[in-house]
Structure 1
Amino acid sequence: MIPKRISLFYLIFTILLILLSCQKKKNISKKETSNNTEVNKLIATANTLFDNHKFNTAFYYYNEAIFKCNPEKDAENYIRTLNRMAIIQQTHGDYAGSETTITKALPFTKLVKNQLHIWNLYVTLSSNYLDTYDYKNAILYNKKALQLNVTNWQKLAAKNNIGVALIQEKKYLEALDIFIPLETKKEVIRNHEFYSSLLDNIGLCYFKTDHSGKDLEYMKRALEIRQEINSPLGLGKSYIHLAQFYEEKNPSLAKKYMFLSYKEFSKINYIDGKLSALKMIIRNSSNKELKTYANSYINLNDSMHEVVQKAKNQFAKIKYDSKREREENLKLKTHKAENELKLERQKNRNIISYIIIALSLCLILILYYYLTSKANREKIEAAYNSETRISKKLHDELANDIYHTMAFVENKNLSLAENREHLLNHLDTIYSRTRDISKENCTITTDENYIVLLKEMISGFSTSNINIILNDLDNISWNEINKLKKITIYRVIQELLVNMRKHSEASLVGINFKATDKSIVINYTDNGKGIDTEKIIFKNGLSNVESRIVKLKGNIDISTNPDLGFKAFIKIPF
């Protein structure tokens, strides 16, 4: 009856939730409109500005697109847009802002089918880590890019990026292992910018690993290609590497390359390159020349920090203004709808509250009656089991003794002293059995007299033929153990000793007590005839022992076989 009631209430509650959920989805679907067209227009505008190097305005339109783009439904546009924003911030030296922007895209990479977008994301992130001297992460994300399903060109570029990061870590031999196989790739050779950069890096690695001859050869080959394509960035890097090569061998030639490097970097205002060239010039200058270039370095460094900070502030302002404008527009759009739905929502909340309260009260009442009924059943069952056990003992042990005693009285001459003595022995046996049954089912004192009562019970099983050795009982802090556990220990030991006396024919019994930090350990051993392990659960009262211990979340381990005695290891937690 009770399970049916519970199922009915759950069914009503589930139906209510489904109806409310459907209503919410309907309301949301009315409010949502397709804005893919608007997002695509914003991205197209931003891309045009980006290609024309109007980065600040491009950043604004990209940021607008991000606010309107749903990353779960349009993950490709979301990732591609964030990647462009991160590149703009990275170009302006805002590496922290770039990392914050790009990492927003990482949770949505699993939703993208075209893995080229993920490749661009990983490469931008690795470049950001490279610029912030986090070379391990730079290598990690290039390795992730290598695992993607992209063209061979993208894979070669990722490998080259790993080599560049290894150069920064001064692992030149490992970098060479990556660069050398790339030298013969057709895709690399056809791309003069890539090929010249590769050759220059190989030359630098050979120079750093003291491979005389090869280093200068590669550097010059790279320089020739860069002169042909007139790449200021590439030429600046070639000149600075040649300056490093000649710095000790030919200082005047090295200084010439330093100035050439500074000149090429200045054409494109590559601040990091100009600073690197100035460092070398300062290191190889003296007197007035040293002072002049030191001042140039300081001024350039200060201006760079100022530009970077302005860029950070500008990008942060664009994000903030866009967010504030969006929030204000959203408030205006939703204000009217909120007023119209306010009354309806309040009414729905009241209805739901009443239903939930009613269902909760019903469930509490059902649970209360169920638990009460269960507890009553358990009490009745326990009483029945106790009565059955006592009845069985009275029938199996006491009734047989009384019957034999009555038969003895009827058939024997009690005037004889021998028969009277025999009768007294029978009566004493009956008294002992009655006392034992009384002790087994009497109320157990768990106060400070508990240990005395426990000892008396154990000693009651000791006879002229049975010796019981008790160890470390007094070492247990019994006052710290709760009442239920004391009663269980008493009954468990009593059951084991009753089982011993009735079945084992043991002459020696050992009971050892031990207290650990978390439990009480009892080791019981006797030298009786043992028990068949297949029958332990169902005979000899051991099922009572096991059930009592399990209720306390303890455990019992029994070791016994016919003619090999009986051992029980009992562990009860505090």
Structure 2
Amino acid sequence: MKKRLNLFKYWTQNRLQIKILFFILLGLLVMPSCERITEKKIIKKNQTTEIKNKIKKGDYFLNKAKNDSAYFYLNQAILLCEPKKDYAEYYVYALSCIANIQKNNSDYFASEETLTKTLPYLKNIKNPEYAYNVYTLIAYNYYYSFDYNSAILYHLKALKLAQTSYKKSVILNDIILIYLSQEKYIEALKILIPLTARKINHENDPRKTDNNYSLLLDNLGYCYYKLGNPKAVDCLNKSLKIKLKQNDQYGLIGTYNTLSLLYSKTDQKLSKLYAKKAYKSASITNAIIYKLVGLATLIEKSEGEELKKYSLDFIKIADSFTSARQKAKNEFSRIRYESETDKAENLQLKVQKIENELQLEKQKNRNSISYIIIFFTTAISLFLYIYLILKSRKEKNKAIFESEIRISKKLSDELANDVYHTLSFTQNTDLGKEENKEELLNNLDTIYLRTRNISKENSAITTGINYGDNLKEMISGFKTPELNIILNGFDSVFWDEIAKNKKIVLFRVLQELFSNMKKHSNASLVVITFKILNQNLFINYTDNGNGADLNNNVPRNGLRNVEKRIQSIKGQIDIDSITGSGFKVFIKFPI
């Protein structure tokens, strides 16, 4: 009762102050809503035309094969879109184009990540063409990542949305390619024979009709070849005739390669001739991957000086291809980062402009207290905004710098060494001898595998439903005839229950432990035990390698990055090793 009297007494004595405070709070609640209404009107008035112009420029550069410029303008269009409210079609279209660029640059994980952003908005778009394109691109990414079952699943989704017979035949041909990769030739024939019984016409482009028909004939010929059916030659010659008539150099590559394969056991001279023609067509179209495939085939079929020439060309093209891919990836990352920074700065300018307009409209009705509140609110917001932007920019630059240093070191220490030794070997060795030729092929295979491993180590980590499979695949990649890896309790872990950032940290930590083991320990056995107890994940890593002297700063410095990663997710790590007695790591973190 006494407490109620005190509250009543406080109310009666301070009614004026309480009323003033109430109106201040009401003003703060009303003003942001006014600002949002005004801002929405301004944005809605100007955004559509600007988005269309950005997409139009992006399409122009795409048609000119200038992917970096196309990426820039398409990314600008995406940043202008608000897909939850409006512009869903523009948003999905621009993201699909960027995903296609990433796919063509063999950055399949980035392409899949980009396409995932479109999925929530496909149901709101009436035109099925958008979903058709998205599903098809997702299927391609799975195909090139060797996940054939997922690729077929998304091709079938696209097939349901295909509105013409021609589009359906294109998708069916993509499914056929997957069957060929899986060596399911009978299943492929069941689709191919009806499709090649007659030409399926494109709506308005006869050239596309012939292109699709010749591609189906190529696949039919390849199936017959694999099944030992002599009809293979007739199918491939029909396809060759169509492509020569159209001067389709890109399409000729596949036909020539299949013919070279077909004659590889019966007529070596003719097989080599078709291999040379395939390489020539790949050179005309500058299809780098097919140039490398063609050179690899010619290396197998050549001797002496010709073999040396093809080998040097292979190394040169492979090196430039790796550099170009990395450069393109870095350029896209830079464009995206700068675009997002520009968007943040432009948004801040718009907010300030809107605030000024609102202040002018309400100037006559505001009192001095309102001006003071607006001033301090704006100042604090601006200070926090600038502080967070600068902090974020600094952290991103640091991460980019460290990543570039690590990649550069790997290229310099590992790949450059192998390339130099291979070049020296080809220049100072008689490649006419079979043993030297075999050694050269082994060296080239080592360069290819090392390049692929560097690419995988720095690619994005998928943290979705396939995370467990990807982690197991990464670990299996370190397995060799001399090294046995045993996983205990791996399948008992419910990976979906673990946070995304913790999955990424665990992936990188295990990757780094295996890399250190491969470089320094000479281990023949690695055992990793996974166990979940009391909402914590426990990992025990043990190998029987050389071990390390942890009192020495050199190995301790090498493991410092592993310790920092585990500490960043509030985990614990204990490293136990003595020189000559193996290496043990205990990791624990909350899930």
TM-score calculated relative to the size of structure 2: 0.52
Residue 155 of structure 1: how far off its partner (Å): 1.8
Structure 2 match to 1:182: 195
Residue 119 of structure 1: how far off its partner (Å): 0.7
Q: Per the alignment, do residues 188 and 88 of structure 1 end up closer, same or farther by CA in structure 2, a change over 3 Å counting?
A: same
Structure 2 match to 1:232: 249
AA partner of residue 265 (structure 2): E
Instruction: State the SS of the aligned residue for 1:219.
Output: helix
Instruction: State the SS of the aligned residue for 2:126.
Output: coil
Residue 151 of structure 1: how far off its partner (Å): 2.4
**1:188–1:194 Cα contact (<8 Å) kept:** no
Instruction: State the SS of the aligned residue for 1:147.
Output: helix
AA partner of residue 31 (structure 1): E
Structure 2 match to 1:121: 134
Instruction: State the SS of the aligned residue for 1:222.
Output: helix
Match of 1:31 among 34, 39, 48: 39
Q: Does 1:78 align with 2:91?
A: yes
Residue 79 of structure 1: how far off its partner (Å): 1.0
**2:128–2:161 Cα contact (<8 Å) kept:** yes
Q: Per the alignment, do residues 21 and 171 of structure 1 end up closer, same or farther by CA in structure 2, a change over 3 Å counting?
A: farther
Residues of 2 paired with 1:156 and 1:344: CA distance? 66
AA partner of residue 37 (structure 2): S
Structure 1 match to 2:144: 131
Residue 52 of structure 1: how far off its partner (Å): 2.4
Structure 2 match to 1:69: 81
Q: Provide the alpha-carbon RMSD of the alignment.
A: 2.7
AA partner of residue 95 (structure 1): Y
Residues of 1 paired with 2:179 and 2:192: CA distance? 11
TM-score calculated relative to the size of structure 1: 0.54
**1:55–1:88 Cα contact (<8 Å) kept:** yes
Show CA shifts across 1:331-378 (max 9, x none): 233246579799668999xxxxxxxxxxxxxxxxxxxxxxxxxxxxxx
Residues of 2 paired with 1:21 and 1:165: CA distance? 58
Residue 36 of structure 1: how far off its partner (Å): 1.3
Residues of 2 paired with 1:66 and 1:284: CA distance? 50
Residues of 1 paired with 2:213 and 2:28: CA distance? 63
Match of 1:261 among 256, 278, 284: 278
Match of 1:206 among 218, 224, 229: 224
Residues of 2 paired with 1:253 and 1:25: CA distance? 77
Match of 2:168 among 126, 141, 155: 155
For structure 1, which segment, 77-86 or 21-30, has the greater mean C-alpha deviation from structure 2 after superposition?
21-30
**1:203–1:216 Cα contact (<8 Å) kept:** yes
Of structures 1 and 2, the larger Rg is shown by 1
Instruction: State the SS of the aligned residue for 1:187.
Output: coil
Structure 2 match to 1:173: 186
**1:182–1:188 Cα contact (<8 Å) kept:** no
Match of 1:193 among 200, 204, 211: 211
Q: Per the alignment, do residues 290 and 82 of structure 1 end up closer, same or farther by CA in structure 2, a change over 3 Å counting?
A: same
Residues of 1 paired with 2:328 and 2:94: CA distance? 19
Residues of 1 paired with 2:58 and 2:262: CA distance? 43
Structure 2 match to 1:276: 293
Residues of 2 paired with 1:216 and 1:259: CA distance? 19
Residues of 2 paired with 1:220 and 1:256: CA distance? 15
Residue 159 of structure 1: how far off its partner (Å): 1.1
Show CA shifts across 1:441-492 (max 9, x none): xxxxxxxxxxxxxxxxxxxxxxxxxxxxxxxxxxxxxxxxxxxxxxxxxxxx
Residues of 2 paired with 1:140 and 1:19: CA distance? 55
Alignment of 1:378-417 (within 5 A): none
Structure 1 runs (4+) deviating above 4 angstroms are 17-26, 335-348
Residues of 2 paired with 1:273 and 1:185: CA distance? 30
Structure 2: segments with no counterpart, 5+ residues: 1-24, 360-369, 378-591
Structure with the greater relative contact order (CA < 8 A, sep ≥ 6): 1 or 2?
2
Instruction: State the SS of the aligned residue for 1:221.
Output: helix
Q: Per the alignment, do residues 326 and 223 of structure 1 end up closer, same or farther by CA in structure 2, a change over 3 Å counting?
A: same
Show CA shifts across 1:230-286 (max 9, x none): 011111111110000000110111000000100000001101111111121112223
**1:42–1:62 Cα contact (<8 Å) kept:** yes
Residues of 2 paired with 1:347 and 1:306: CA distance? 51
Q: Per the alignment, do residues 172 and 149 of structure 1 end up closer, same or farther by CA in structure 2, a change over 3 Å counting?
A: closer
Q: Per the alignment, do residues 206 and 342 of structure 1 end up closer, same or farther by CA in structure 2, a change over 3 Å counting?
A: farther
Structure 2 match to 1:292: 309
Structure 1 match to 2:107: 94
Q: Per the alignment, do residues 342 and 70 of structure 1 end up closer, same or farther by CA in structure 2, a change over 3 Å counting?
A: farther
Residue 228 of structure 1: how far off its partner (Å): 0.5
Q: Does 1:51 align with 2:69?
A: no
Q: Does 1:246 align with 2:259?
A: no
AA partner of residue 208 (structure 1): K
AA partner of residue 64 (structure 2): N
Structure 2 match to 1:473: none
Q: Per the alignment, do residues 248 and 43 of structure 1 end up closer, same or farther by CA in structure 2, a change over 3 Å counting?
A: same
Residues of 2 paired with 1:277 and 1:21: CA distance? 68
Q: Per the alignment, do residues 264 and 67 of structure 1 end up closer, same or farther by CA in structure 2, a change over 3 Å counting?
A: same
Residues of 2 paired with 1:151 and 1:335: CA distance? 51
**2:256–2:278 Cα contact (<8 Å) kept:** yes
**2:35–2:355 Cα contact (<8 Å) kept:** no
Residue 43 of structure 1: how far off its partner (Å): 1.0
Instruction: State the SS of the aligned residue for 2:266.
Output: coil
Show CA shifts across 1:6-53 (max 9, x none): xxxxxxxxxxx9999987655422111211121111111221222222
Residue 74 of structure 1: how far off its partner (Å): 1.9
**1:188–1:195 Cα contact (<8 Å) kept:** no
Q: Per the alignment, do residues 30 and 338 of structure 1 end up closer, same or farther by CA in structure 2, a change over 3 Å counting?
A: closer
Q: Per the alignment, do residues 136 and 188 of structure 1 end up closer, same or farther by CA in structure 2, a change over 3 Å counting?
A: farther
Structure 2 match to 1:107: 120
Structure 1: segments with no counterpart, 5+ residues: 1-16, 349-574
Q: Per the alignment, do residues 43 and 178 of structure 1 end up closer, same or farther by CA in structure 2, a change over 3 Å counting?
A: same
Residues of 2 paired with 1:94 and 1:342: CA distance? 52
AA partner of residue 167 (structure 2): Q
Residues of 2 paired with 1:20 and 1:147: CA distance? 52
**2:199–2:213 Cα contact (<8 Å) kept:** no
**1:94–1:311 Cα contact (<8 Å) kept:** no
Residues of 2 paired with 1:18 and 1:143: CA distance? 55
Show CA shifts across 1:419-444 (max 9, x none): xxxxxxxxxxxxxxxxxxxxxxxxxx
% same residue: 35
**1:97–1:312 Cα contact (<8 Å) kept:** no
Show CA shifts across 1:42-87 (max 9, x none): 1112212222222221211100000001213222111111111112
Q: Per the alignment, do residues 140 and 342 of structure 1 end up closer, same or farther by CA in structure 2, a change over 3 Å counting?
A: farther
Instruction: State the SS of the aligned residue for 2:140.
Output: helix
Residue 327 of structure 1: how far off its partner (Å): 1.3
Structure 1 match to 2:506: none
**2:51–2:77 Cα contact (<8 Å) kept:** yes
Residues of 2 paired with 1:265 and 1:183: CA distance? 26
Q: Would you say how many aligned residue pairs link Structure 1 and Structure 2?
A: 331
